[in-house]
């Protein structure tokens, strides 16, 4: 069965510190992988996506993610967190023509 | 990528009534998806809307409760019928572009049932 695990429900980091949000997936075929961000009261914004090719993908707002097939992981990273990054982050997996399956989300808090 | 306009952005409805949510896309898309996000939860797929055929519903969701229309390649509606407070959620429309560039979401409809 297709599934996405985000093991951290909440993460708190200091402003300026580095960030890594974990995502592990289970999918029968070669997956498409996504990270979305949702600010309070807002819809979902796509941060980045991986379809194929270079396993390190760059996204918006200074985020990047690395696809590791051997670990079935697609962790999101940012070298220096800003207070405006406080939001909920969702990892999702899918394939062309199929539904997206979402993880439970990780709430990021940034302390000054 | 596609731009999605979803209406209404929010509504407060009385229990027992119905609400129809509209999703308009600025380009033709093959697949349109309707998701529900209950308070404090992740997104759950309700159904996939295909043009010219009936929607495909996920387990736990039925057409009588969530009827969907997809009259063309740029538009879809989701109706939440006979609402109860448990239907209070954010409902999101999502599309997959024909070019396969990924999935885009509308800004969502925040529904409160009182």
pLDDT at B100: 54
Chain A hits for B6, CB-CB cut-off 8 Å, are 43
pLDDT at B103 > cutoff 90: no
Q: What's the rounded mean pLDDT across residues A10-24?
A: 97
Give the residue from B41, B61, B103, B112 with the most A CB atoms within 10 Å of its CB, the best one to mutate. Answer: B103
Mean pLDDT of B31-44: 92
- What is d(CA B114, CA A38) in angstroms, rounded to the nearest whole number? 25
Chain A residue whose CA is closest to B5: A43
Q: Write the pLDDT tens digit of every residue in B3-19.
A: 899 999 999 999 999 99
CB contact under 8 Å between B92 and A41, yes or no, is no
**Chains A–B, number of C-beta pairs less than 8 Å apart:** 52
pLDDT at residue number B84: 97
Candidate from B33, B42, B96 with C-beta closest to A90? B42
pLDDT surpasses 70 at A16:
yes
- Return the beta strands (E) in B9-108 as ranges: 10-13, 19-25, 29-37, 43-50, 56-57, 68-72, 75-80, 89-97, 103-105
Residue pair B21/B78 in contact (Cβ under 8 Å)? The answer is: yes
Residue length of chain B: 114
CB contact under 8 A, B92 and A46: no
Question: Could you report the per-residue pLDDT of B52-100, keeping only the tens digit for each?
Answer: 888 999 999 999 999 999 999 999 999 999 999 999 999 999 988 655 5
Identify the band that residue B101 occupies on the pLDDT scale cut at 50, 70 and 90. low
Among B31, B42, B94, select the one facing A97 at the smallest CB separation: B31
CB contact under 8 A, B102 and A49: yes
Q: Do B45 and A99 touch (CB under 8 A)?
A: yes
Angle at B32 between CA B28 and CA B35, to 5 degrees: 150
Answer whether A43 sits within 8 Å of B94, measured CB to CB: no
Split at pLDDT 50, 70, 90, the class of A42 is confident
């Amino acid at each position: 069965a297709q599934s996405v695990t985000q093991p951290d429900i909440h993460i708190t980091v200091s402003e300026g510190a580095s960030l890594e949000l974990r995502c592990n997936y289970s999918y029968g075929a070669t997956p498409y992988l996504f990270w979305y961000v949702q600010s309070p009261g807002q819809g979902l914004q796509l941060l980045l996506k991986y379809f194929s090719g270079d396993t390190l993908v760059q996204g918006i707002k200074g985020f990047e993610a690395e696809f590791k097939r051997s670990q079935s992981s697609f962790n999101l990273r940012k070298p220096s967190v800003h207070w405006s990054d406080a939001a909920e982050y969702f990892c999702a997996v899918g394939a062309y023509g199929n539904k997206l399956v979402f993880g439970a989300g990780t709430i990021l808090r940034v302390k000054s | 990528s596609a731009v999605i306009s979803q209406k209404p952005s929010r509504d407060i409805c009385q229990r027992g009534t119905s609400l129809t949510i509209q999703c308009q896309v600025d380009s033709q898309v093959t697949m349109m998806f309707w998701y529900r996000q209950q308070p404090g939860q992740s997104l759950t797929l309700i159904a996939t809307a295909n043009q010219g055929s009936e929607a495909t519903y996920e387990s736990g969701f039925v057409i009588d409760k969530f009827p969907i229309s997809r009259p063309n390649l740029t538009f879809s509606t989701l109706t939440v019928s006979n609402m109860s407070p448990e239907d209070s959620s954010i409902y999101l429309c999502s599309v997959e572009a024909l070019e396969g560039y990924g999935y885009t979401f509308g800004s969502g409809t925040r529904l409160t049932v009182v």
